[in-house]
Each structure stands twice: as C-alpha cells, then as structure tokens.
Structure 1
C-alpha cells in the first residue's frame, strides 16, 4: 500500500494543475477569448514600455530622464485604468491568486516527492567550544550596532578577546597575529567586506570563523540563518554552537563570501561619493556607465560559454535563488561547490524590453561554473568584492574553494528555512501520475521516512 506522504504529494500536484487551469479559465470566462487576449496583450505591452522608459531614465540625464520616469509610471497607470474600466480588476486579482496558489502547492508537492526537506539545510558538525576566541569589531559598522547592542562587553563576559577597530587598521595582519598568538577562533562584527578578509585568514589557518551580524546588510549572515535583528544572539555560537563547512569564492587574490561584481555596479562604487550618497551618485554616473563611455569592454567566459560585451556581471559564492538573480536575495546553501553567474547584456531600449521574458530573455545569462574568467580590452578593470571597490589586472579569474571555511554558528538560528524547488511542470505531471519527478524508477514509498532538517 502506498505511503500516506506519496498520496499527499500526488493529490497536491493534481490540485496545482487544477488551480493553474482555473487561472486560465477565469479571464476566459469573464472576458471571452478575444477580450482576454486583448487585455493580456495590453498588459504585456505596458510592461515592455515601462522597461524601455526605465532604461531611458537610467541611461539619460536632465529632461529626458525625468520625462522617461513619468512615462513609466503613466503607462502602468493607464493599463490599470483600462482594466478597471473593463471591470476586470477582480479578474486580475483572482487570476494572480490562483497562479500563486498553483505555484506554491506545486512546489510543495515537488519538495515532498524529491525529499527536499531532508537535505534542505547544510550538515552541522558537533565540535568543542573554542578556548581562545578572538573577535574583531568595527564600532562604525551598521550605524553603530556594536555599541547599541553592547557586543564588546557581552563578548568579553563570556571569555572572548575583542579587538576594536579604530582608524585605519590592517584587519588581515591583525587576524594573522591573533592566530600566531594562539587564537582558536576568529570572528567579525562588521561589514561583509571585513568578514571576507578575516574569513580568508581563518580558512588558510584551519581555524573556525564566526559571523556577528553587525553590518549594514549582513548578506552572509542572512544566508547562514543568523539573527540580523539581534547581533548579540550570534554570540551564542561561543557557548552552544555547531560548525558548518562553507565554500569561499576567490577573485584574483581576494576572498569573497558573497559576490564579486564587474561592469556597471563595480564602476559606480569606485566613486568616493558613493558611500555617503548611493542613490544620487548612481543616478549621476549610470548614463556614462551604461553608454560604455571610458569603460573597458568586458568578455565573460563561463563553463565554455562566452558572453561578449555584458553591461554587468555578478559572480557569487554559490548561486542565488532564481527569483533573486540580481543578487539581492538569498542563497539556499553555501556548500554547493559552484559559482553562480548572472550576466546582463542590455545595450539599449530593445534589450530592456526583452527583460520582460525573465530568465528566458536573451539579455540575461544565468549559469553555474567552478571557474569564471572576466577579460577586457583594458589592462585594469573595476571590481566590487563584497561591496568593496577595487581595481584588478585583466584577465580576472574567479574560482570556488569548496568547504574551505569552518563557520561556527549558534545551534538555534531563526533564519533557517526549507527551500522550495523551482516549479517544473513536467516533473509535477509525473508526480500527479504517481511517478518519480526525475522520470526514473518509482521509489518504494513504504520505506521512505519523512525525516526533518536539523535544528
């Protein structure tokens, strides 16, 4: 007799198809085939026009920039009014809800069928607590979180040695000296750039590393599941912690924990004004950057694929989720042993319009590889490494160092989540028919245990 979880996944997959069918049927029933196709065409045209206007807003200055910004808003408002006058707003809302439900239920069915719950989190290792932890803290990072959460006092109260960064300090030399003097753990309360530098020292010396989420964005802490609202909770790793084995990225001779960026963003962050006025500086510089004025033309070589002339390339330590291809979201795991690569080749308004096709857009390349080479027709190119502005000689090589870093984290972390797989309708169809999603032989569901991810 089939296991109950097998029946559940089968019926969930069927429910997903039912919801998807309803999402198609609702607009057809409300407006008819011709009306539905017309409204869909209008909506698609509005999105494409808004993308073109946004491109003009970013790539031009003065009057044309602001006219383009107004045009992007007006186009979207106009199509909203069109749907409202056709009394189709409720249809759009209901259709969107049905599609969202179909995707959520379908992912849940695939997650169970593929056993994602049992392999969603990285393996944790029990190791002895450190005897001589050495923590580096930047009191200016994150708007003063170190002082606001009394991280120095709390760390010293549980036996950690704390070095407070004042002025210009070589954090690599500081961490290396600490290891020579007997430190058996290195930790950082600061930004991702500082985290990466000290993580490189920890990896080279085989000592565990600890992250304290006292930076502004804390992307590395986010993907480790750490509490970003209460940096002091990260100190629990010293008294009740486990270890993770985490990959490290390398660009040239620099380690990165999150990503290395080339092209538009890397050029913008070179400006001294960027730190104090990010938005204003970016808007002032983007027209020249997007036009390629004064910049070397990039060529990205990724696992046998060559991308010529991209405007921006993001190379990440493990790939970001598909919906977060711009690097603003999360990585499901940090131990996949691959680099994630996103290259954008938008050269004009036509390419901007093609972005409405999402990951199928020819203006967007999304790949994984264990090595990426970025070349250019200049001898030096700007690179942003975990947000830090650098200049590197070409060609620039990026590599992944699998399981290079031991990261000590609290046993209980609020940010751990079980990821849902990307929805594959063909695989979902096989599950609906009682077959394995991969198309291989059906598993013996009577011997499959539900399992659960570690805490």
Structure 2
C-alpha cells in the first residue's frame, strides 16, 4: 500500500499529488457519464457514453505524454496487490459453520421436474432425464411453452406418493417446487440446469456439471435451510422491488435484456415513473427508495467482483436487506466510490438521504403509493398487494445434496485498513 502511494511522487516529483488527483478526476467523470447514460436518453445518453470512454483515455494519454504511464500502471498493480493481501489477512481461518448434515437413506419414489428450455438446453445436453430415470426417478418434462403449472404438478406428485421433489431448471422454478416440498416436509433436490442457479451455488453444488447433483438420489446428505416469503410467495434467493422489478416485468425483457433495460431505465431512475418505496424493518424507516432487494439470508457485499451475489450461509434465520436511492450523477459517483452508509443490524433512524444501506432483519415491510407493487421473485415478475410483508422461516426446507460437492469458498471481506493495522501491530508485539 505504501509503495503504491509512493510511486507517483517518486516518478513525477513535486507534481505527483496533482497527477494522482487527475487520475481520480477521470474516474469521477467516467462514473458521472455512466449515470447519464443509464438515467437519460437521446443526446444526454450519447454524451454520457462519450464521457465514460473519453475521460479515462484522456487521463492515460496525458500520463503517456509525460512519461508517467508505466508508473501509473505499477501504482495500480500495487494497490490491487495491497487490497488482495488485506482481504486475505482478514479472512477468517475457518469459514462460517455450514448447516449440519444428516446422512439419509435413498428416496423410494423421487419425482423430478425438468425444464428443457432452461440454461440453453442443459437438460438435453447433460442427458439429465435419462440419468434421473436410471436412478429410479419419475421424470416430468415441462411444457417448453411455459404453460405448465409446476407447483400443481408437484402437489399431484405428493398425492401420488412421491417422497422427494426435485427440479432441473432456473431459480424461479426451484422456488415454486421448494414451497410444495416445505409445505409437506419432503426433501428437495436442486439440479442446477438454469442459467445462473444462485441457489445451487450457495448450496455448494457444481453448476458446471448439473448431472453431479443426481448423486444425491443414491449417496446424499440432508441440510435444513431457510425460506423467504414475500406475502405468500416463496423465494429461495431474493425478492426485488423498484427499478429491477419493473425492468423484469417488461414482456420484452426475456428476448432483449440489454435493449429493454436501456429503454426502461431513464423514466424509472429520474422520470415521473420512478418508483419511490418505503421500507420498515424493526426501528429502521426509509423513504424514497428506488430499489430494494430482500434476500433469503444476507449477501456478502453490495458488489463483489470475485464472487458476485454470494451468501455465506442459508441458515442464519435473517433476511438480507439492500436499499438504494440515487437521484443524480453526484450521488451515483458517491455510491460507486463506496460513500454509502455503513451496514447496520437494525438501527433506528431514517437512513441516508442517498446511497446504499444494508441491514439484516427477520421481517421487512415494503410500502408504496400504489395498490399493488411489482416484485421480481427469483427473477420472475409478479404484482403483489401493497404493503408487502417479507419474512423468513428458519429451517423450513429440507435440501438433499450429494455427499461430494465443491462447497463454498471462504469469505473474503472488504479491506478494512484499521483492522489490518491492528492485526499488524498485534503480530509485531507477539513476535508472530
């Protein structure tokens, strides 16, 4: 860290501080341009895109012209190394205790629903139906047109005597069947055949080899994990309110994600259609939110480039809550720079005027000025009557997983330089 700070003045002499400020100014302008590109259309969006590209290039060109490009690259590399070293130093020696596992006998009448369209055809590519039938499962291939009521088919399977329910598909389909499994206290098997499979990721399953999950039918263990509810709808990952929910609810989103998002964002961020939500969690009250994410157990960080959207555990009995309010370019820059309110477990007050707030709570109430509110539940768009009460039910779901699975990596917390300093002083005093 010290070496990274010393490289610019060593290379530029007395003007080193000015060159550092120039680099910071370029990043700030690029962040402001990104906000203009997302929150506006037409000429303002074009100007924002130009700024996103031109500001960093102009800084690099000035550095190169004055012979400071290589020192700048070296300084950035040293900063990256310092951040990585700090995160490693602060990582607990042992990851959080996983949910207790219980050895179980193989199911007698497993039932598996498979979505042939999920994950660009993973069901056919990995021969999941044939492998599941070979393991003794009753396999149901869902209608490719999306007209099947998978929850009702799962309930019918229970009435027919199924003693395990499984899904090969995306997280939205997983949630529908998980609700049926929890209601009947039956084990639930996740086969990661969707596009992202966040729930499978946090269960420690191998998303690159969905067929490996079928080993749980013959050599499996059982976990107890929590389930989230938004009103009466189950979510295994999260329920999103506000901007993201409105974008996902656009019928064109499925086919043209990027184009639909860019068209929908300006009025949602700055126009009359911009959602303004209210949130209550214990003593915490927040107004004027544009986006709100309620997750089944908290995510590690707002932004984590190494492992985005990871949850350290699924049995904490707490919802994760992420609140966002950004109204202009200056506030967007502040959020991207990390200038947001610190995490709070359940503190009083109205929260920040703008930025990001994270907290945890057993239940959350989401209010709006409309009779209903758009909600993205595990990526599926629905409308629910306002206010929406989100809650978590600890240990509601029995999950069957293979005995052998990759697991989750240890948590890498953000660099806290005060803690790094205290750790270094402790090691020095003890001679360790």
**TM-score, length-scaled by structure 1:** 0.85
| SS at structure 2 position matched to 1:70 | helix
User: Of the candidates 195, 205, 215, which is equivalent to residue 236 of structure 1?
Assistant: 215
Match of 1:356 in 2: 336
Match of 1:171 in 2: 150
Q: CA deviation at 1:328?
A: 4.5
d(CA) in 2 for partners of 1:41, 1:426? 24
User: Of the candidates 161, 176, 180, which is equivalent to residue 159 of structure 2?
Assistant: 180
Going from structure 1 to structure 2, the CA distance change for 1:369 and 1:37 (only over 3 Å counts) comes to farther
Q: CA deviation at 1:159?
A: 0.4
| SS at structure 1 position matched to 2:337 | helix
1:29 equivalent to 2:7? Answer no
Equivalent residue runs for 1:77-116 within 5 Å: 77-111=57-91, 114-116=92-94
Match of 1:384 in 2: 376
**TM-score, length-scaled by structure 2:** 0.89
Task: In structure 1, list runs of 5 or more residues that go unmatched.
Answer: 1-19, 436-441, 446-455
1:190 equivalent to 2:169? Answer yes
1:41 equivalent to 2:21? Answer yes
Q: CA deviation at 1:387?
A: 0.6
d(CA) in 1 for partners of 2:34, 2:362? 34
| SS at structure 2 position matched to 1:196 | helix
Greater Cα shift, 61-70 or 310-319: 61-70
Per-residue CA shift, 1:282-329, capped at 9, x if unaligned?
Answer: 111111111242455211223422221111111111222225379953
Equivalent residues, number: 415
Match of 1:226 in 2: 205
Report if aligned partners of 1:137, 1:190 keep a CA contact under 8 Å in 2.
Answer: yes
Task: In structure 2, list runs of 5 or more residues that go unmatched.
Answer: 342-353
Match of 2:344 in 1: none
Report if aligned partners of 2:238, 2:378 keep a CA contact under 8 Å in 1.
Answer: yes
Equivalent residue runs for 1:50-449 within 5 Å: 50-111=30-91, 114-117=92-95, 119=96, 121-166=98-143, 167=145, 168-294=147-273, 296-322=275-301, 324=303, 328-358=308-338, 360=340, 362-434=354-426
Going from structure 1 to structure 2, the CA distance change for 1:59 and 1:103 (only over 3 Å counts) comes to closer
Greater Cα shift, 248-257 or 395-404: 395-404
Report if aligned partners of 2:8, 2:17 keep a CA contact under 8 Å in 1.
Answer: no
Greater Cα shift, 358-367 or 176-185: 358-367
Going from structure 1 to structure 2, the CA distance change for 1:378 and 1:151 (only over 3 Å counts) comes to same
CA RMSD for the aligned pairs?
2.4
d(CA) in 2 for partners of 1:288, 1:110? 42
d(CA) in 2 for partners of 1:123, 1:90? 51
Report if aligned partners of 1:240, 1:411 keep a CA contact under 8 Å in 2.
Answer: yes
d(CA) in 2 for partners of 1:284, 1:83? 36
d(CA) in 1 for partners of 2:97, 2:62? 44
Per-residue CA shift, 1:389-429, capped at 9, x if unaligned?
Answer: 11111111111222211111112223532223443333333
Report if aligned partners of 1:296, 1:377 keep a CA contact under 8 Å in 2.
Answer: no
Report if aligned partners of 2:362, 2:392 keep a CA contact under 8 Å in 1.
Answer: yes
Per-residue CA shift, 1:245-297, capped at 9, x if unaligned?
Answer: 21111111101011111111111111111111111111111111112424552
| SS at structure 2 position matched to 1:129 | coil
Q: CA deviation at 1:151?
A: 0.8
Structure with more relative contact order (C-alpha pairs < 8 Å, separation 6 or more) = 1
d(CA) in 2 for partners of 1:242, 1:218? 20
d(CA) in 1 for partners of 2:181, 2:94? 31
Report if aligned partners of 1:339, 1:399 keep a CA contact under 8 Å in 2.
Answer: yes
Going from structure 1 to structure 2, the CA distance change for 1:121 and 1:21 (only over 3 Å counts) comes to farther
Report if aligned partners of 1:121, 1:416 keep a CA contact under 8 Å in 2.
Answer: no
Report if aligned partners of 2:224, 2:398 keep a CA contact under 8 Å in 1.
Answer: yes
Q: CA deviation at 1:235?
A: 0.8
| SS at structure 1 position matched to 2:338 | helix
